Amino acid sequence: MTDALSEETLKRMMLRSLDGDEGAYRHLLQALRGLLLAYYRRRLALGARSDLEDLVQDTLLALHARRDTYDRTRPFTAWFFSIARYKLVDHFRRGGGRMLVDLDETLEAASGEDALTARIDVERLLDGLPPRQRELLRRVKLDGESIAEAAGRAGQTETAARVGIHRSLKALARKLRGET
C-alpha cells in the first residue's frame, strides 16, 4: 500500500492533473476515492453507512472545485486529508444534534490518519539506508527491542550496533535537513 499510494505517487499524479493530464487525474480520483471510502468507513457509525457514498462524492466534488488551493510546493496528503476531515466534521455538523461517532473513535481515527502519513514518511526515509542499518533501526526504534537483542539477531556486537544506529540516525537527520 505504501508503494502504490505513497505521498510521492499521489503528488506526482496531482501535479500532472493540475497541468491538465486527464489520464493522471482519472487515476488520482480513483485512488483518492479508495482512500476516502476507507477513511470515512472507519469514522462513520454503523447506522450511517448509507451516508458513506454521499460523503465520498461530496468530497471529490469539493476537492475538484477547490483544487487551486493546493500549493504545489507542499505535501499532497496533508492537503487531501485536511479536506476529507473538514467534510467529515461538516457532515456531523449538518446532522444536527446526532453525533454519529463518540469522541474515543474520533481520536482513534485522527491518530489512524497520522499513523498512515507518518508510516509513509518513515518508510521512505528508511528506504534510503543500507539494508543492515535499516533493519537494526527498525527493530530498536520502531519495534522497541533493546539494542542487545537487536544486535544479537543481526550477529553484531552491541557496540557495533550502537555505532550503526547512531550513524543511521545522523544520516537520516542529514536527509531531513535536505543535505543529501
User: Of the candidates 1, 45, 61, 107, which one interacts with other proteins according to CB under 8 A?
Assistant: 61
Cα gap 120→2, rounded to integer Å:
6
Q: Which one of 57, 111, 157, 159 is in contact with other proteins (CB under 8 A)?
A: 57
Nearer to other proteins among residue 22 and residue 179 (C-beta): 22
Q: State the binding string over 119-138 for other proteins (x if CB under 8 A, else -).
A: --------------------
Interacting span for other proteins (CB under 8 A) from 55-63, 100-108, 126-134, 149-157 = 55-63
Q: 12-46: b or e for each residue (b if 16 or more CB lie within 10 Å)?
A: ebbebbeeeeeebbebbeeebeebbeebbeebbee
Task: Answer yes or no: are the C-beta atoms of 42 and 110 closer than 8 Å.
Answer: no
**Phi-psi sector, 45: left (phi>0), alpha (psi -120 to 50), beta:** beta
Q: Per rule CB under 8 A, is residue 67 in the interface with other proteins? A: yes
Q: Which of 1, 42, 69, 170 binds other proteins (CB under 8 A)?
A: 69
Task: Select the residue interacting with other proteins from 56, 88, 165, 172 (CB under 8 A).
Answer: 56
Q: What are phi and psi of 69, to 5 degrees?
A: -85, 0
Q: Tell me: does residue 17 bind other proteins (CB under 8 A).
A: yes
The span from the CA of 136 to the CA of 29, in Å, is 38
Cβ neighbours around 83 below 10 Å, total: 19
CA-nearest of 63, 55, 58, 108 to 81 is 63
| Nearer to other proteins (CB atom), residue 87 or residue 139 | 87
Q: Does position 74 bind other proteins by CB under 8 A?
A: yes
Residue numbers of the site for other proteins (CB under 8 A)? 17-20, 22, 25-26, 29-30, 33, 53, 56-57, 60-62, 64-72, 74-75, 78-79, 82-83, 85-86, 90
